[in-house]
């Protein structure tokens, strides 16, 4: 398969050079840029192209244009360039395994924090979410994106916006990707196991037992990972048993 090279147009070239100007310190944070016409001239492009590039950088929080005053380099331009790169990597990332691994890392912790931070009302909501899933589960071949409602609710109750949003994009990517279709044809026993795991996680949250919620969530996701890659974790030694052994040693 030949990788499609997108022909670089003036706009993206401009964007890239402006970013490097900021990164190498030629343009410093807080600094005022020359006006659009001068800029366009100095880069030898038209004003519209100049504007298109600047608009994109403005949208990324790297530039800051104020009507009638001028355009400035954002105070946190460098940090937003970093964000932009993160975003790029997220956009191009297609490895289902890495997406699942990320879930494996963050979701047990989210379950842990959700157990500590969810209000009683929120736990009731979670119960309702599960009950609705039960209905779907009994009636149709429920799965795929439906499965995600529970996880997203748990993430919300953990009160960490960053990781909640990260999980949202990961789940969105998983359901958009082949993984979404894959799940439709997965063996029924896997679905049932998965559903029971949800019930167990909920039970732990309801009992306000954060460590238990965390452990169950981990094993739930680890089982999912095993479905798409049976070899995963053969080099890993994270397991209840070994952990127990280690802790008893001390």
Partner DNA sequence: ATCGATTTGTTCGTATGTATT
Partner DNA sequence: CAATACATACGAACAAATCGA
Query: Would you tell me which residues interact with a second copy (CB under 8 A)?
Result: 7, 11, 48, 51-52, 55-56, 59-61, 67, 75-76, 78-80, 82-87, 89-91, 93, 98-99, 101-102, 105-106, 109-110, 112-113, 116, 160-163, 165-166, 168-170, 172-173, 176-177, 210-211, 235-238, 242-244, 246-248, 250
Q: Minimum distance from CB of 116 to a second copy (Å)? A: 6
Output 183-190 pairs: Cβ under 8 A, ≥24 positions apart: 183/143, 183/144, 183/147, 184/141, 184/143, 184/144, 186/143, 186/227, 190/223, 190/227
Q: Minimum distance from CB of 63 to a second copy (Å)? A: 13
When the beta carbons of 73 and 174 are compared against DNA, the nearer one is 73
Query: Radius of gyration over alpha carbons of the chain, in Å?
Result: 24
Interface residues toward DNA, by CB under 7 A: 7, 9-11, 33-37, 44-49, 51, 65-71
Sign of the alpha-carbon torsion through 83, 85, 88, 90: negative
When the beta carbons of 30 and 203 are compared against DNA, the nearer one is 30
Q: Minimum distance from CB of 79 to DNA (Å)? A: 22
Nearest to 148 by CA among 172, 123, 164, 127: 172
């Amino acid at each position: 398969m030949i990788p499609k090279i997108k022909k670089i147009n003036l706009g993206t070239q401009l964007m890239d050079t402006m970013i490097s100007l900021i990164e190498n310190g030629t343009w410093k944070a807080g600094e005022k840029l020359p006006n659009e016409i001068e800029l366009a001239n100095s880069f030898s492009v038209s004003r519209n192209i100049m504007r298109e590039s600047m608009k994109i950088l403005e949208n990324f929080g790297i530039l800051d244009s104020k009507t009638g005053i001028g355009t400035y380099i954002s105070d946190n331009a460098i940090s937003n360039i970093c964000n932009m790169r993160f975003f790029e990597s997220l956009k191009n990332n297609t490895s289902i395994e890495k997406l699942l691994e990320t879930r494996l890392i963050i979701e047990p912790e989210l379950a842990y924090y959700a157990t500590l931070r969810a209000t009683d009302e929120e736990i009731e909501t979670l119960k309702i979410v599960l009950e609705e899933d039960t209905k779907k589960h009994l009636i149709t071949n429920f799965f795929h994106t439906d499965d995600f409602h529970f996880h997203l609710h748990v993430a919300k109750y953990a009160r960490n916006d960053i990781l909640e949003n990260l999980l949202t994009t990961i789940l969105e990517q998983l359901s958009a990707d082949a993984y979404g279709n894959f799940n439709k044809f997965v063996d029924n026993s896997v679905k049932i196991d998965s559903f029971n795991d949800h019930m167990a996680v909920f039970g732990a949250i309801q009992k306000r037992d954060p460590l238990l919620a965390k452990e169950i969530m981990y094993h739930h996701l680890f089982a999912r990972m095993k479905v798409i890659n049976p070899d995963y974790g053969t080099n890993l030694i994270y397991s209840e048993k070994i952990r127990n052994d280690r802790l008893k040693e001390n």
